[in-house]
Amino acid sequence: MRKLVPTLAFIFLFGGAVLAQTPTPTPKPVEDDGEVVKISTTLVQIDVTVTDKNGKIITDLKPEEIEIFENGEKQEISNFSFISNVKTAESPAPNKTEKKDKNAVPLPPNQLRPEQIKRTVALVVDDLSLSFQSTYYVQRSLKKFVNEQMQDGDLVAIIRTGAGIGALQQFTSDKRQLLAAIEKVRWNPVGTGNVGAFAPIQSSSGDTPNYSGSDDEEDGGDGGAAEFNSFRESVFATGTLGAVNFIIRGMKNLPGRKSVMLFSDGFKIFSRSADGFSDSTRVLDSLRRLVDLANRASVVVYTMDARGLQTLGLTAEDDTSGLSADRVEQKLSDRRTEFFDSQEGLIYLAKQTGGLSIINNNDLTKGIERMLDDQSYYLIGYQPDAETFDPAKRRFNKFTVKVKRAGARVRYRSGFFGVGDDQIKPPTTLTAAQQIQTALTSPFAVNDVSLRLNTLFGNGKQGSFVRSLLHVNAKDLKFTDEPDGSKKAVFDILAVSFGDNGTAADQIAKTYTLKVRDEAYQKVIKEGFVYYFTFPVKKPGAYQYRVAIRDTATQKVGSANQFIEVPNLKKNRLTTSGITLENLTAEQWQRTSETSVAATVSTETKAQNSTDPMTDTSLRRFKRGTILRYAFEVYNAKLDAAQKPNLTAQIKVFRDGKLILDGKTTPLDLLGQTDWLRIKSVGALSLGSEMTAGEYVLQVIITDHLAKEKRRLTTQFVQFEIQ
């Protein structure tokens, strides 16, 4: 079912008990903003990392201790500051000996505000090159990072270079989503990675295609096979670099310290032709473009060889029967050459962007920790001369940074091409379909048209479904005058649900014409409108719901996305639906309470209330001094001998990850209900006038006292904002 109208009356499907509680206000924290590198025609800023001989960050350098040279000419420093990654209040380290309570209620994820983001980290898994063995170690290290190393203020994405856009490749602070993404990290059999770090040596290659890259005619190979292998590797390498390029483009405008951590089995900068000559054009050109883009976007690239430390000698898988000692040594020499050549790309990429390259290290977790600790830096700026951006020269401007303190080691970006950010030509004009498709597939939201999306899981007689409510800010659309006096806006909309395997499960693609008159137009401009659609759930699991809108008049595009885990009700586990919301004044709440707590609200009562739960549920913005009414359904509750459930409910409210309201546990009101498959409940929360404006999380916890201990709890949460 799909509907689009300026304002939608939303009928509450739930009736039940009322909980009214007032949370204690909490002071609004003050956060520092760590904006970094920019390249313009008037100012060049670079971030410089300085460590001692032990790799520890030096934090007390003075401006006179650093010198910057551009193309060998010393520059006068005009801006100098130190950006620290050290937390003012460290969270207590997890106690590894303490047993986890399996029945503990999971905490809702903290919704970060832009000023709260300290580190933006893209963990890029290069499954185009990873071997089966490397994939296992990378997956294990990523889990440890999320569970033990991830800090408050971290905005993280786990992205696979060989995957589709998928449900899970989004920047988030939600550990549930990250762990779900890690579970989908798999060995890619169509990539260049073998089962182990290397393809085993074969006694005769006549029966087996030669993918080792060695041009060994005595073993039955030929130059054409070697050239094909080399070409194949370069194609996959440019595919990896292209994926990283796409990520960095999206990270350009994100807040905080921005880093890409690439986990790979490496790639070669130079490829070999059939006649034995080396060619660097394909991969090196991609690397140079990527380095320049990363330097302009102030993204540091860290690389890690997931193969770890390798002996490079014979292994149990190698078959040397029938080979002479010289031939065995030649094959081992080829293996060593291939290994070190494949590390060159990782070393080059990290060095040129000011990052670290972690190679020959079996402790991937320690490598991640080292990269995360390397987030404190000096931000240094200078005013370039006219020749730096001379369009006739368009040369590469090379940086050299010197630190006068003894024993100091310095890392910085290699440089940039002599074109200012404001001089870079925009990409070729995209078609309407390409514009909206690009916005939809990007792991980064596009905000030219402001959107707010809320997806709700539910279950009905036809089965499970997910309903998506999209609030559109009509001020971002262009309305034209019509001959009949009405206003008209035309926009394209594309809505897709993606499974965790990267494929689209359902989609809607349409062009809408919105015509409104007089008061309706003023209302739409002031309040926006809601578009909603419902997709049936064909298979439980993790989904990403993405929506993009394009205004045909201005070509402005907006996008939104939301991650949701769809439960499997067939497992008979206690489950709650998504939470619907409604904002009422105290007077409206009183009238509603006095009328009825039936499953639906009468038309007359709704007219008196003049509320719009559809907008409230999608926008999730509420006023202080009002009532926040919420509703949900409970599934798979156990029944006693009298065929009645025994359920209790509790609410919690969080701000900035801190609990500010711990509500009382109260029985769920079952009055008037007969459908025990879908038990309805409604509650209310008083938003005190003294509450601090900002983001909050409402969590609902349901306990089934008739279920087994391990299955008696379920929880659901929703983020909302107080203005």
Instruction: Copy the structure tokens of residue 348.
Output: 């080059």
Residues 606 and 698 in one domain: yes
DSSP reduced 3-state for 61? coil
Q: How many CA atoms lie within 13 A of 272 on its CB side?
A: 18
Number of domains in the chain: 3
Note the pLDDT of residue 444: 63
Residue numbers in the chain where pLDDT is lower than 70: 1-42, 85-116, 163-169, 190-198, 203-232, 253, 255-257, 271-281, 316, 386-395, 417-428, 443-444, 500-502, 592-610
579 in a domain, yes or no? yes
411 in a domain, yes or no? yes
Note the pLDDT of residue 204: 56
DSSP string, 140-170: HHHHHIIIII--TTEEEEEEETTS-STTT-S
Residues 472 and 527 in one domain: yes
CB 223 within 8 A of CB 274: yes
* Residue range(s) defining the domain that contains residue 153: 114-191+237-373
Please state, in angstroms and rounded to a whole number, the distance separating the CA atoms of residues 254 and 659: 28
Please state, in angstroms and rounded to a whole number, the distance separating the CA atoms of residues 22 and 27: 16
211 in a domain, yes or no? no
* DSSP structural state of residue 576: E
Distance in angstroms between the alpha carbons of the first and the last residue of the chain: 32
Cα Rg of the chain (Å, integer) = 29
Residues 411 and 262 in one domain: no
List CB contacts of 257: < 8 A, sequence separation 6 or more.
34, 36, 83, 85, 118, 119, 120, 300, 375, 377
* Helix axis angle, 132-144 to 364-373, nearest 10°: 50
Please state, in angstroms and rounded to a whole number, the distance separating the CA atoms of residues 212 and 601: 71
CB 486 within 8 A of CB 515: yes
Residues 552 and 465 in one domain: yes
AA identity, residue 667: P
AA identity, residue 122: A
CB 59 within 8 A of CB 82: yes
Please state, in angstroms and rounded to a whole number, the distance separating the CA atoms of residues 454 and 443: 17
How far are the Cα atoms of 366, 651, 656 from residue 21, in angstroms, in the given order?
Answer: 46, 9, 20
Residues 574 and 613 in one domain: yes
Please state, in angstroms and rounded to a whole number, the distance separating the CA atoms of residues 250 and 162: 18
332 in a domain, yes or no? yes
175 in a domain, yes or no? yes
CB 208 within 8 A of CB 326: no
Residues 319 and 345 in one domain: yes
Residues 138 and 60 in one domain: no
List CB contacts of 280: < 8 A, sequence separation 6 or more.
269, 270, 271
**How do 409-411 and 73-75 pair as beta strands?**
unpaired
Note the pLDDT of residue 218: 43
Q: Is 723 exposed, middle or buried (CB count within 10 Å of its CB: 0-12, 13-18, 19+)?
A: exposed
Residues 351 and 285 in one domain: yes
CB atoms within 10 A of CB 183: 14
User: What b/e sequence results for 345-383 when a residue is b if at least 16 CB atoms lie within 10 Å of its CB, and e otherwise?
Assistant: bbbbbbbbbbbbbbbeeeebbebbbbbbebbbbbbbbbe
Please state, in angstroms and rounded to a whole number, the distance separating the CA atoms of residues 476 and 481: 16
Token match 């969270």: residue?
91
Residues 387 and 445 in one domain: no
Q: Is the pTM of this model over 0.75?
A: no
Please state, in angstroms and rounded to a whole number, the distance separating the CA atoms of residues 596 and 656: 36
Please state, in angstroms and rounded to a whole number, the distance separating the CA atoms of residues 492 and 581: 28
Domain with residue 245: its CATH number is: 3.40.50.410
Short-list 623, 629, 619, CA closest to 691: 623
CB atoms within 10 A of CB 508: 15
144 in a domain, yes or no? yes
How far are the Cα atoms of 126, 130, 233, 280 from residue 159, in angstroms, in the given order?
Answer: 8, 14, 21, 27
Residue 141 φ then ψ, to 5°: -70, -35
Residues 119 and 22 in one domain: no
Residues 150 and 72 in one domain: no
Note the pLDDT of residue 190: 65
Domain with residue 415: its CATH number is: 2.60.40
